[in-house]
Structure formats: structure tokens, C-alpha cells
Structure 1
């Protein structure tokens, strides 16, 4: 436990982040740290030291490591952001926790729900913070939709519809389709609508749906149906097309829509006519449909929640505040919720695919 004086000094100095990985998402996170005066890049780790050195130089300095143990021993690191390929997340998170470092683990936090539960248990036992980096939950527009639902703006929630789909060719070596790299639409995209649905409605009573296999056996597309006592959520994700990428919540007195792309939403629309909102949800992504949906009409309005950068700074702020407060979890993004999302995915992918492919995939690597 820090003394009052130590806590005051900690609040005054920039928060030192260590980043494991030097890929695209690591770069986006480091760039967004630059938007936070109270944060700094303290260290970077890569299996290739030259990559770590180049990344550190690109984002304002910090120590560069090719050795993981030396990286985790760096006292300047107050929290570790794990941004490596999916299959490494769980093991690296456990090693960071064992070293006493708080962790923010890029989604999915693991490839099995049991591994997320192991991360949560290790964090509790070691007394350090741990969270999955499902950054969308921290966006201003997502906070707004949750607050408006809670205050009854659309009445009783009856249905959630969401689609998150981006076309990717099935090319050899693509991480999106490689089972060994934790590929598949559900792990890459499905976690977003699933996590936001659980954020709004909690865990479902029952789960149904189907999935279609890619040539490698991972899911090319997945459809989820979550049943609640008085509501249903119909969620889809895929690499087979470019979707509408909206998140629609309809209720007894209207509807709220996180506009495309909802995973980094900057616009929240309200429509007093839920049927009209449903029709708008199904329209395409082109300029004409978007223009039509933005024309002013009675009973319809939009709020803009613009932000600089990529939107990862909000989760970073939440982690920094929690760590310096001595907390081990975040109420907005608890690991229990991360495990619940993976259990839903596991239940779906345990079924034979809708196209008749029944390939068992080893997620333990």
C-alpha cells in the first residue's frame, strides 16, 4: 500500500507504459498515448531488438528490449499493454502478472475462456490490475448509449442487432485465417458486438446461431442469437463481405444506433420510430444511404462524440486511473465479461459449421 506522499508523487509523474509487440495495433496505442500528457512510452519489447528500437524511436523514445524478462523487470513500466498475436496473449499476461506488472491485454485476452479465468485469478492472487483491451466500451458514444438506455430514453429494450464485417481474401499465411494464430471472424470481430451486448444487457439465458468455415477451418462468418428474458440480440461478423457495421438497440419507445463503424463510434442516433430505425440499419454503406439516414426528420436526432486519434486513449486513461488507485480490475471491462464472451464463441464453434465442415481446431497453442 502506497503512503499518501508516495501516491501524490506518482500522480504527478507521467505514467510509464510498456508495450509488448510492434505491430499495427501497438502503433495505434502508442500514438494515442501521445494524446495523453500524463502518459509516456517507457519501454517496448519485441522478439527482434531492432524492431523494438525502431518502434521506440518512432514514438518518442523509451527503452527497447529483445529479452522479455529484462523488459518485465524494468521499474519504469507501470503497466504493460500486450499487443502481440492472439495466441501469445494469455501466456504473456500471466508472466507479466507474475512479475508484478499490471496488464492490459489486447482482445481477445485469450483463445479460451479458461485462460481468461486463469489471468483473473493470477491478478487477484498477485494483487495487480488486469483487463482486456476491448476499447470500444470506453468510447464517449458507448458511454452515452448505456446511460440513455439506463434512463429509459427508448423504454424497455427488446432487440439488439449488430453486424461487424470486413472483407478479407483467403490468402495463404493471412493471420485472419490461420488457426495457429487465433484466426477467425469471431475472435477478430465478433468479440466487439458480443462484448457491447453483454455490457448493455448482461449475460444471456441461451445462445444459438451458426457459423461458416473458411478453407482453413476457422470461421469465415459467425451469426449469434442471444436470448434474454424480454429481449433478443442478433449479432453477426465476418470476413466474407463489408457489412453495415452498425449497432442498433430498439425498445418500446424508440431506438438508438451506434453508427458505422460502431467499434469506434463517434455518432449516436435516436429515432422515436423503432421501425424506421430498423429500416435504416439494413441499408448499405454507400453515400446515398448514409445521406438519407442523416436527413432531418421529426422524432430523429443525432449526437456527435468526436475524438482525436484512434480512440484507444480512453481505455488507457481508465487503466492508468485504476492502477494508481491500487485497483485490480475495472468495472467497465471486468475479466468475467471477457470470459463470458469467449464462452459464447466456444459454444458456437463447437457446433458443426453451417456448410458441413466440422474441423476441430486446437486453441491451446
Structure 2
């Protein structure tokens, strides 16, 4: 059930003990009114290692037991993509709020099922698309709104790194919904959607890994008014992790693409200008974490910032890319 209006700290549980959960925990000191009281991992040893590292009082190896324990109000889900839906369903049915890592699910139908469960159980649900909450994005949006780059005409995204050559790992394993699109491409799609909206035409190219997942993707979007977007994602090479907005008066470079840690304004008429740079030691997850905690303390079941319909739109965009592949993830 939704929490009542309260100032009491929100008790969180985390599902998973991977690097992204470490990042979540590292940002905890930059938040207010939340604490992590429980961890659930596949093994007792993994859960105990996490608990000892972070001083987490309760450990579990079964997510159902954790959400039914009465120890937590909210669950952060950071397991492989293919396992998101099942864990979220378990928590929502128990009346435990859910923050589920992107992509929240791997089909639109699965997301619709989670939203229906959240509505039926009057329980908070949000996808963890943390980019929408970082202050660098707000600074970039303000600069564009103020006409600092003139009229926005195009967008270019690059994001690549060399993934471990592990066919059973989450990045290359089709059974874990691996591939470049789901892991990093969603950031590019998010930026294109946020800045340019719905395109008229789509064009997609991909290169497959030996496991059958997409190793590299290039996505091109075209708009009726002449605007364009080009996005490159790769799991087999190092690429700048940035988005560049091109306007009639200048350009705006946002890096890193996922947390907008630095935003630079430039153009032919003068030197570059740093309009935002995060100087604290936070990784950037804290802004999203604080937003969800605030929503829960207000008794909300849906974020007014990253809505259920926003996640659904991103799911539809991914489906558009997959349709152009001529296949869909299982």
C-alpha cells in the first residue's frame, strides 16, 4: 500500500549485490530520510558480504521473504534485465514500493502488467532512469530553453565500451536480455525523445555478437521539419559517452551521457563555456533516490517526474528498433 504522508525515514531493501548496487549505496550519504535496512542476494555469502560492507541489518536470499518480512517499505531492483518483472511483481503484490533499474521490463506488455499491479495494490512503481533527475540535465534544458544554441536542429549520441568476452555474462547473454540496445542504447533513445520527440522515420543498423545479441547499433531518426538524430552504441569499442545538441547558433555537449556530469556550450562565435559541472563526490544516483523517497513520504504511487507513460514510451521506442532488426527479444 502507499505510505501515508510522513516524515519518518523510508526503509529500503536492495535486490542484487552488483556494482550498480555499490553505486546506489555510495550515494546514500547524499540523501535524506532514507536508509537501507535489508539486502537480498542469490547466496547467503553474497548477502552477508554486502551486509558487512555496508552495515545492513537484515539479509535474505529470497525476495519474497524480504518483501513479506515487514522490514522494508521500498525495494530497489538491480538484477539482470530478464529478472526485473518477476521481482517487481513479487514486491508490488506485497505492497512494497518498487524502483526497478532500466529497462524496467523487456516488453511493453510486461510493463503494462506491472502498472496494473501497482494500481491494484495502490503501491508506488518507477523505472530507475536516473538521467532524468540529475541537475546537469536541468542545466542543459534551461540553456536550450533560453535560446543559447538557437533552434535545435540535430542530436548526436555516442556510447561505447569494451564488454567482457563472457557469453554467460549479462551483457552478451540473450537469456539475460543482453545486448547494446538494452544496456546502453536506452540512454540515447531517452535523449532523442526528451530533446526532439517522436520522429517520422527510423533507420537501424546492427552487428551481432557471437551469442546473437546486438553488439553494435546505429539508429537514425528523421523529423518532418528537417531535424535529425544519430545514435551509436557499442559493446566492443571505447567511444565518448556523450550527447551533442546542434543548434542554429551553437552546440551543447553533455557528458557523461547518463549522469550529465559536465555540460559545455560552444559555437563558432566564441570560446567554450562550462555551464554545469558537478563538483561533489556523488555518483548521481542520489537525485533519483531522493525523488522516490520524497514521493513515498507524500503517499504517491506514481512519480510526477518520470511517469508510467514515459517508461512505456521508451519501451515502444525500443520495440521500434527491434522491429527493424526483424526480431524481438524473447
Q: Say whether 1:239 aligns with 2:235.
A: yes
Partner of 2:222: 227
8 Å CA contact 2:215–2:234 kept in 1: the answer is: yes
Displacement, 1:157? 1.3
- Of 229-238 and 328-337, more deviation after overlay is shown by 328-337
Structure that is richer in strand per residue: 2
Partner of 1:100: 95
Q: CA, structure 1 residues 209+72, in 2 after alignment: closer, same or farther (shift >3 Å)?
A: same
Q: Say whether 1:309 aligns with 2:282.
A: yes
Partner of 1:82: 77
**SS where residue 350 of structure 1 aligns?**
helix
**SS where residue 40 of structure 1 aligns?**
strand
Q: Say whether 1:52 aligns with 2:44.
A: no
Partner of 2:184: 189
**SS where residue 41 of structure 1 aligns?**
strand
Residues in 2 aligned to 1:38 and 1:331: alpha-carbon distance in whole angstroms: 19
Unaligned runs of 5+ in 1: 274-296, 353-357
TM-score by length of 2: 0.92
Partner of 2:138: 143
1:286-305, aligned counterparts within 5 Å? 298-303=270-275, 304-305=277-278
1:133-172, aligned counterparts within 5 Å? 133-172=128-167
Q: CA, structure 1 residues 202+327, in 2 after alignment: closer, same or farther (shift >3 Å)?
A: farther
Q: Say whether 1:263 aligns with 2:225.
A: no
Unaligned runs of 5+ in 2: none
CA RMSD in angstroms comes to: 2.2
Displacement, 1:181? 0.8
Q: 1:290-328: CA deviations, max 9, x gaps?
A: xxxxxxx82521132233232111100110111111222
Residues in 1 aligned to 2:206 and 2:80: alpha-carbon distance in whole angstroms: 23
Displacement, 1:148? 2.0
8 Å CA contact 2:215–2:236 kept in 1: the answer is: yes
Partner of 1:319: 292
Q: 1:211-240: CA deviations, max 9, x gaps?
A: 111111100011112233432211111112
Q: CA, structure 1 residues 43+150, in 2 after alignment: closer, same or farther (shift >3 Å)?
A: same
Displacement, 1:362? 4.7
Q: 1:238-265: CA deviations, max 9, x gaps?
A: 1121112211111222211103x32232
Q: 1:112-160: CA deviations, max 9, x gaps?
A: 1221222222222322211111112211111111222233322221111
Q: Say whether 1:18 aligns with 2:9.
A: no
Partner of 1:290: none
Q: CA, structure 1 residues 62+258, in 2 after alignment: closer, same or farther (shift >3 Å)?
A: same
Residues in 1 aligned to 2:200 and 2:298: alpha-carbon distance in whole angstroms: 35
Residues in 1 aligned to 2:157 and 2:314: alpha-carbon distance in whole angstroms: 15
Partner of 2:106: 111
**SS where residue 314 of structure 2 aligns?**
helix
Q: How many residue pairs align between the two structures?
A: 328
Residues in 2 aligned to 1:96 and 1:150: alpha-carbon distance in whole angstroms: 40
Residues in 2 aligned to 1:307 and 1:207: alpha-carbon distance in whole angstroms: 39
Q: Say whether 1:68 aligns with 2:60.
A: no
Residues in 2 aligned to 1:236 and 1:171: alpha-carbon distance in whole angstroms: 22
Q: CA, structure 1 residues 207+71, in 2 after alignment: closer, same or farther (shift >3 Å)?
A: same
